[in-house]
Structure 1
């Protein structure tokens, strides 16, 4: 549900233009014309929206009811205004039942709790289009917009962008179970007494409760129930708990237990550590009006100042020596960010020593900020460094690649894909990025979120990179690069990654030549006339040549066949690889920084944490337990091994 009445106060960015390929023509002889449609500017109003887990129709009554369930239009407006302030924690409550309307399923006594909706500003932007078409077209095609447009000539409809939705409140909690208690005697007694706020009714209920009943359990058999009360079998005579589900969100897959949680001998669990907040600074847009931060969050500065004075970081204990480790980490990061102002955290994981790695997020928040969108998304950027000001920062832009599930279903492909099993490891290049993160065309990198300078180790990508023409100013999509140059790089990397995943190291040189010499972002814009003309000039069949003679004798027909086959394929033959768009599920939890709270051990013992992480006492056998005891007390372990043959289940004793 989107309301035009609600508006945010962000300044508008510079104009962004969009156009659509119009393949229709009034000329019957021009069957495959490639005409660009009218260009539209996105210098249009920015509006917020509320994404509801409800079926809301366009009828005013339906919209009014949905607004009422959220607390009213004023409540929604207030939440949307607050959502643009990163310092304010806010949410919107959605009640699924109308308590004031019994005829519509409401109840005078209900155990309902609301679903919490939280704002997601600047993260999901979408364009609201106004489509005008002849009356009755939508009804004829059962409300299907795509079929309706396909049935019309381009002159019979009009599409205009009217707004951009850049601030959305989303509801992701489970709705849980709801119970109507209208026919429950105990609930009715409460409503008629305390619910009525009448003193006489309240006094009558209190007086009906026995005084000084020393043995209430003996009266259970004497209780009299009203058997004549007709109530549906779905109504329970016991008041249900406020919440039946103990969690607001479903558990995620690949769940891992807290490595600092330990269970004592008496069975009581405890966490030997504390949680501290990292206060990482984020920028949500690349607009010219946004200034890059030059210092950390105020709260983080306050905590760090206290730590320097007391030598104990707030929220940690002196025994953990967190402050000393943090200072060492800051010293290392200082040198690293002098050499390279923009880093991916995964690369830093292999450089920061394992014994102080738990301080990395706090250290990064003290010296860097991050973009949540654009070409430098998911990188850590040194305070004061603005990658929008100089082309030298183009090489630090990030590109995303993912191997599709259809390839991963093959055991051979899974065997060819290297995995970085440990979150903390040691780089094979001391003080620098591990070579296994780089793409050289000979092996699949450890991590498929790659900065541009991690790609130019591959000769074909380097050839394209050396000839790029940088833009005068960067944009939110391609940064400093033109779209065509990025498409060339992506096509080369996608093709080679797909080959490597399938164990093919013999790349097709004609395909690579074609990718390097593409003239258009979409291959469908290349017509046969362009190909023939370029081939008539160039004996090698290259599309983009300087019309110079070439001494190499290339098989002209083979290149022509391959070129035509590429054009005949889908516009973006991914070769089993997805590129360009961020896949949130593929990003590591550490990169996404979805949890601002960091767990810090009271006494950081990495070896003990590692060994305990995969050890489950409930499923461990006798030898597993003895082996674990052997790590800390070899003498006792040997004695147990000699004297005991195994364990007996306590239930069988």
Structure 2
């Protein structure tokens, strides 16, 4: 808010008697206001408001001690009169806004003597204010009963329009200590062609590498007049929570619940035998889903995710939204090795016996490089709602699942099945990380043929490859060489895990992996905020919807220490 001195000073400078002119120079009728005293006891008397319209200027200086100096920053009395009492010829309209009248601008220059000082434009606005003069008379010899000073309040007039400065100030450059600006500016201000032509820059432009050289400042530095409102605020989904025996935590109410799935790698000493103790008690629906999952794992100890989705969806579509929450109660996940991206029942270790060779997983990274878009999908087994459940088996004739992870027992293509059955009759006695219990030559041959079939089925148009196209591959020797790795197999091994794309409640694929990485990044960057929050006591905390899910919030760091131009008068120095 501007100081009262600034409003009063500019208003006095712009006032016009009512008998002569009103706002914009229009005649104004005399006021009919009268001074009366209310006869009712206890009410304040009514004061006279003189007739006449005043125009105020809200100067941004905090305190004005020199009115003449303040008026000079506004262009002098001439500049104020031109802004307040603009004639019809001076008011114009823009072609794009014919109904909007544009008056001459009232420019505020904190350095009025510097022609390179960029001004701030004033805004003409309608107001309903009263200008009041308060006079305080201090009594030197006041009686003991007298409390305080004597004040006199007098209404000067009605303020119907005011000029306000709300634009951002442009960047300023001080030229007072520049000989070039003093010389060149004086020549330009004189508007003398001879003086302008006779000017020679000093030093010579050819010597710029060793001598400083001033330049004419631009007419405008910044194009932004209105400050941007970034609406900084904390995460509305975050609440503060203080555990009974712990520090204050910040919890995200909308964060997805933790699944507590147990994942293991190929080199783990022993496999898990029971689920995590952090799992919550399942609901009635989840108990039914867990019972069905246990039945499936009794029939087959290892499953792919899409195999479980199809079996559960065909059995009861209502089980699918709760499937991912219930898997942690029944099985763990292999993240590397021959059974990569498969769910295995607790207590089952497929590394212990060659009988688990048929559950090994063939993983392919198709449709994720070389500009290949989403793979073509043929769905089967539609339910009553019309949503299909992709088949997790590989027949060699159609591409029926968007996942490129197939278990050996789910390969029904006759050519591949014949090679697999021949390899199952000659399994290894020791386990290998890449080929598992199969011989290396057999495993590589199955992978090469299956990859070629998948690429053909995913082509445009899709094509089913015949067995005759693989005669060269079929006649190649099956060398049991574990060290040599095909480039395609290496790319598949280094690809992103397909299981990271978890399902939503309606069965759609989501970017869960990306979301997890972003959450981890945010938590790491904002860990310092959580440490500061731990030192504060929470008085009225809300109860969280989920416990144990900590999320840090962003803190705003504002820099309010602006450094003004050393030659520019500060607000309050006028």
TM-score range relative to shorter protein: 0.3 to 0.5
Counting helix residues as a fraction of each chain, which structure ranks higher? 1
TM-score (norm 2): 0.39
The structure whose Rg is larger is 2
TM-score (norm 1): 0.35
Name which structure has the greater RCO, CA cutoff 8 Å, separation 6+.
2
